[in-house]
Copies of this chain bind each other. A is one copy, B any other.
Amino acid sequence: MIELGPNRYGKAAIRLVKVVRDGPRHTVRDLTVDIVLEGDFAAAHTEGDNAHVVATDTMKNTVHAFASEHLTGSIERFGHVLARHFLDFEQVARATVAIAEHRWVRMPTASGAADDAFLRSGDFTRTTRIQASADGDVVESGIRDLVVMKTAGSAFAGFPRDRYTTLPETEDRLMATRLTAVWRYGDTGGVDFDAAFDSIGEALLDAFAEHHSPSVQASAWIMGRAVLDLRPEVEEVRFSMPNLHHWLVDLSPFGQANRNEVFTPTTEPHGLIEATVRRGG
């Protein structure tokens, strides 16, 4: 009467740095890779039979071994090759590869951008997730932990008030979020994933900077539309946007006005808005 339900396993946080040494001008790739397998693994749980259990240590080795030959372009292409490799095991019904790429930029120096010295940029992380099965690949790519702020053009008013509501309405607030966006590609045949990432990133920044925001919800919708208008190969965009509150400090006890100038940021609690914008019909 007791049965095994959904289950999966894999190796998380496989770290990998590749230095491409094509002549004196090096390139650095810095990835964190997760591998997850689903399939015919019931016997491992219920019988203690590991005959189907590809060791997670083997997954790590495979990622390292594939880096030399296959990490030559986008993380989407590398993820695809890895996912297909694991799908080749007979017992695997779905192989999921998630990759985060950490950015190193050439070190700026008095004599120009360095050939072999780099600086890690903490502005954001590029991500992808490839789910490979007999039905083909589902490719979702994204941007993570992009912290952005609007100091004008952000309001929050017209919301319902009940006995627990104390928040004043405002037509001019400071809005900040740690943006995570994930977009799902439809047909991935001819997609240049690096170019797509760059143009989607630019579209997100443009939309964020230029729109008037009546709420974080509206901002997500506007940014999602911008991406879908721009890139026909994208089917949907999902946003996770924590509202990083910046509260106006009450300076009146000190005899000072606060002309929307001095704020205290807080981390707990925070609003959290999640929304999907997609092609309909």
Residues of A that sit less than 8 Å from B by CB: 1-21, 24, 26, 28, 30, 34, 36, 41, 44-46, 48-58, 60-62, 64-65, 67-68, 89, 104, 107-111, 114-123, 146-153, 156-167, 174, 202, 205-206, 208-210, 214-218, 220-221, 224-225, 228-229, 236, 238, 242-243, 246, 249, 251, 253-256, 258-281
Contacts and interface: CB of A to CB of B under 8 A. Distances in A.
Given A9-B274, A276-B4, A68 B116 contact: no
A13 B214 contact: no
A5 B278 contact: yes
A50 B273 CA distance: 14
Nearest to A214: B48
Given A51-B158, A160-B52, A268-B267, A65 B120 contact: no
A67 B262 contact: yes
B15 A264 contact: yes
Contact of A261 (B20, B151, B152, B253): B20
